Each structure stands twice: as C-alpha cells, then as structure tokens.
Amino acid sequence: MNHTISRRTAIATLGALGATAVFAQQQRPATVRLGYQKSSTLIALLKVQGTLEKQLAPLNVTLSWHEFTSGLPLLEALNLDNLDISADVADTVPVFAQAAGAELTFLAQEAPSPAAQAIVVRDESPLKTVADLKGKKVGFAKAAGAHYLLIAALEKAGLSFKDIEPAYLTPADGRAAFEKGAIDAWVVWDPFLAAAQRQSKVRILADGAGIASYQRYYLASTKFAKARPDVLRVVYAELEKTGKWVKQNPKEAAALLSPVWGLDAPTIEQANSRRSYAVRPVAAGGLAEQQRIADAFFAEKLLPRKINALNVALFNPGA
C-alpha cells in the first residue's frame, strides 16, 4: 500500500515538475530575429519609435534587428535559419529564395509602386532610350526588383539580357560606380533613386510603369510562422497601421527617417511619395506576377531551375 502511494506521489511530482518546466519555458523571453534593409521604410519607422517592442512585450518577446544591403542576402539569411522574419523585399527576391529551396510564408504585401524604381543615366549621357543600352554596362543589385525591371524593359525594347553587360552592385557601390562613369546606366529603387535625382544630374530612361508593378513582400520562415502566428499578427497589424500613417503624415515620417537614413527630409518625402505603403494580406490570386518574374529569370538562365512561384504558404492575419 505504501509502495502504491509512493509511486502515485512520484508520478504526481514528476507531472507537476513537467508542467512547471513547460510553464517556465513559455514564460522565458523569446528573441525574434528580424531582418531589414534601408528601403524597409515601415520597419525603419517601427524601429525608431520602438513600437514593435512595446506591442510584443505582452507576448514575452524581444527583437533583435539585422540590417542587410539588399533583399537577396536578407532572404538567404532567412533560408539558413539566421532570421525569423524579413522586412519588405522586392517581388523578385522570393523567387530566387524559392529556387534555393527556402520554405517561406508570405506575411504581407505592399500594393504596386511602379515609379519607385527606375533605369537612370547621367544627364550628359548620349543614351536616350532603353534600346540604346545595347552593348552598355548596366549596374544593379542581383535579384532585386531593379533586376527584373531591367529584363522587362529590355524585352519591351526588343533586346535581351545578353545584349547588355551586367554589373552586380549593391546600391552604395552602384551609386559610386555611376558617379565616376564606371557604368553607363544604373537601375535602382527608392530612397536611393530619389537621392540620386536630388543630389546628381540624372535622367530616367524608364521606370516600372506598364513594365513591372514592383510589389514588395514581408515574409517569415514557415517554421516560425507555424510556431508563432501570434507574433506575426502583431507585426502585420503594426505594418498596416504604419503604412497608412506615412501616407497621411509625409513630413513627420520624413523627419523621423532623416537621421536614420542619413538623407534630407525632402529627398525622403520624394521617395515616399512613389511608394504605396498599402499593406494587405497576400492572396493566392495576387501572386500572378511572381510567376511571370520567375519565368523571365529562368528564360534568361538566371534562375537555376523552373519553379512554381504560387506554391507558397500564405499568412492569414485574421485567423
């Protein structure tokens, strides 16, 4: 009898200890790793205001911030499990990540902003049209939205990617190469585009109007999305709210971003005027251009394999 009681007591004690351990694990602060780049406007505003930290505190979550030069290395880090959430990247970038086998969940989408990226030349350049780029050296960031804009613009002008000499450059390196004449044209996005327009004499050969809609996506690793949908719901809500605030308060937003970006407020206002910042859930039907992008890169032998760009996980913020 005593042995039975002892066994029951031991089992109950072990159960209590197990429950305590689970509870303690749930209470232990979790660190969420968030990656972003300079053009991640909404995330930059949330960071400078400390908004996400405040909203995630009740979930016992802290944030670690990681800045990247462009979207491709950002999603590579997500694929390698070095990040949990990615701030907005251009529509081209997930295509490359999917081709590399990344398991991505699309958290949110910004409505199109076709004028927020462009192909530019120096004002004194003899190049007048996209067709004049044949045989010329063009700088841009690999797998960025600018990369697809260039491919689409060349196709529209009757050229292919093989007709130009590509120079894969980060925005900072691209600006330096452009200004010293090491490249004939530069394809870039805001706020780098606005900075070049205001600080240098440049001409736009083409932007994305009628060529590339330039939608930006926020993503998470699928593993993290399954484990912490509560965190993603908070992030989505704050992105949506901040997107509306930027459009309603352009001067205040520019003033907040100016010291963070190292750009004057008027330049930031110009850049922000071309971005929609209309954050919305990603619907399967809203990914049609992703497949066109994937097919265009594969046709130019720039994507290692053909992919189904629609075969992705979508986050439902209302679930």
HSE (CB half, 13 Å, CA atoms) of 55? 17
The yes-or-no verdict on residue 11 having pLDDT over 70 is no
Enumerate the CATH 3.40.190.10 domain ranges in the chain, comma separated. Answer: 25-112+215-314, 114-207
Comparing CA positions, the residue from 289, 195, 304, 259 lying closest to residue 45 is 259
The one-letter amino acid code at 25 reads: Q
Say if domain 25-112+215-314 classifies as CATH 3.90.1150.10.
Answer: no
The arithmetic mean of pLDDT across residues 175-187, rounded, is: 97
The arithmetic mean of pLDDT across residues 80-84, rounded, is: 96
Comparing CA positions, the residue from 151, 148, 146 lying closest to residue 189 is 146
Residue 37 confidence (pLDDT):
94
pLDDT digits (tens, 9 = 90+) for 185-207: 999 999 999 999 999 999 999 99
**SS3 for 285?**
helix
Q: Kindly report which listed range (17-26, 167-176, 259-268) carries the lowest average pLDDT score.
A: 17-26
pLDDT band, very low/low/confident/very high, at 28 (cuts 50, 70, 90): low
The yes-or-no verdict on residue 2 having pLDDT over 50 is no
Token pair listed for 251: 């001067």
Q: pTM for the whole thing?
A: 0.87
The arithmetic mean of pLDDT across residues 213-235, rounded, is: 97
Residue 29 confidence (pLDDT):
63
What pairing do the DSSP bridges indicate for beta strands 313-314 and 117-122?
Answer: unpaired
The yes-or-no verdict on residue 24 having pLDDT over 90 is no
CATH of domain 114-207: 3.40.190.10
Mean pLDDT of the chain, nearest integer = 91
